Amino acid sequence: MPLFLREKKSLTVLIALIFFHLILISIQVPLGNEQSYFEKGFFSVFSPVQHGILSFFGSIGKLWKNYFYFRNVQTQNQRMREEMFLLRQENNLLRNALQKLKSEKEVEENISKIYQNILPAQVIGLDASNLYKSATINKGSLDGIKKNMVVLDKDGNLVGRIVGPITLKEARVQLITDSESGVGVFSQINKVMGVLSGDANGLCSFNYVLVTEQGISDGEEVVTSGYDGIYPPRIKIGKIILMEDTTSLHKEIKVEPYFDFRYLDRLAVITTDLIDIF
């Protein structure tokens, strides 16, 4: 084929591919936060592969440890860690619940309900574009995962919520550090209310606090308010590390989340609507 014809063909293919991608990007606009079928398809195909690869290497690692090192100690330690993990979650959630629940009977009823609804999950991947946006976990619809379920770290601090796509054994978690996220919050001491969203740099912004507001200070803890209808109240999020008055109506407040990206391998998904309990 002559060179100019070949180049023309190549250029046509390139333009067609660019056009295809632009259409792909455009069709997401009316969908909002909902994923397109194309994206869901890709995620459904490749996330189990990712899960499988990690399980494979994880199994090899476990095999090595179990056979050549402290086999019994390892198993026992693992079991105790699992138990400690669940107890820590339960303890944290009950602590919050106790602040509101009045009768002892009510507390008893809810203890079992909470314990049964903590689902430990492992992070199998971080966001490919921005680490602070999302993470993929190894639990999916077969484990009872649904959209908007609350996700906590090993110490019971808020990490985010489940967003789509959800496959049979994988799901995506939107982190509170994502700039598109929004959490109804208040400051622990004076209950100053606002909306928390991520800044995509690993920190969060405490928005909509008027510059005239005096009842909020540096180092103060920030907890969920429960008014957003997704996150239950009084879950710890982080502490205020920076507060500045601006020329606009609202203060600029930065919050450092308690959850640590370095230890974000193990999470707890709350599979019940905690707002009912609290």
Partner 1 sequence: MKDFIRVSVGVIIAFIIYTIFNKISASLLQLFNVFSLVVIYFAVEKDEIFGACLGGFCGLIHDSFSLGVFGVAGLAKTITGFLAGYISKKIDVLPVLRNFVFIFILISIEFILWALFYSFIFSQSITGGRKLIYFQPLSTALVGSVLFLLLRRIKKESPLS
Binding site for partner 1 (CB under 8 A): 9-10, 13-14, 17-18, 20-22, 24-25, 28, 35-36, 38-39, 42-43, 46-47, 49-50, 53-54, 57, 124-134, 136, 163, 172, 174, 178-180, 200-202, 261
Handedness of CA 6, 15, 46, 179 (dihedral sign): positive
Q: Which CB atom, from 10 or from 91, has the smaller least distance to partner 1?
A: 10
Name residue, tokens 């496959």: 167
CA distance 273 to 96: 14
Q: Which CB atom, from 43 or from 259, has the smaller least distance to partner 1?
A: 43
Q: How far is the CB of 168 from partner 1 (least distance, A)?
A: 16
Q: Which CB atom, from 48 or from 184, has the smaller least distance to partner 1?
A: 48
Q: Which CB atom, from 187 or from 197, has the smaller least distance to partner 1?
A: 197
Q: Which CB atom, from 153 or from 220, has the smaller least distance to partner 1?
A: 153
Q: What ranges make up the beta strands (E) of 208-277? A: 221-224, 236-244, 252-257, 266-270
Q: How far is the CB of 161 from partner 1 (least distance, A)?
A: 12
From the number of C-beta atoms within 10 Å of its C-beta (0-12, 13-18, 19+), residue 119 rates as buried
Q: How many CB atoms lie within 10 A of CB 252?
A: 15
Q: How far is the CB of 216 from partner 1 (least distance, A)?
A: 25
Q: How far is the CB of 51 from partner 1 (least distance, A)?
A: 9
Q: How far is the CB of 106 from partner 1 (least distance, A)?
A: 38
Collapsing DSSP to helix, strand or coil, 218 comes out as coil
Q: How far is the CB of 110 from partner 1 (least distance, A)?
A: 33
Roughly how many angstroms between the first and final C-alpha of the chain, as a whole number? 72
Q: Within the chain, where are the H helices?
A: 3-26, 37-68, 71-100, 104-116, 274-277
Q: How far is the CB of 27 from partner 1 (least distance, A)?
A: 9
CA distance 222 to 239: 6
Contact 184, 197 (CB under 8 A): no
CA distance 241 to 219: 6
